Amino acid sequence: MISQVAKWGNSQGLRIDKNLLDSIGLNIGDNIEIIKQNDMLILKPQKSRTINWFLEDYERSDDGWENVSEPKGREEW
Give the residue extent of every domain in the chain: 6-45
4 and 17 Cβ atoms separated by less than 8 Å = no
CATH number of 6-45: 2.10.260.10
pLDDT in tens, the chain (77 residues): 899 999 989 999 999 999 998 898 888 888 888 999 999 999 888 866 666 666 666 666 666 656 556 777 776 66
Report the predicted TM-score, pTM, of the whole model to 2 decimal places: 0.50
Q: Measure Cα distances from 2 to 20, 28, 59, 77 in Å.
A: 12, 20, 49, 55
The confidence score (pLDDT) of residue 56 equals: 64
The confidence score (pLDDT) of residue 67 equals: 58
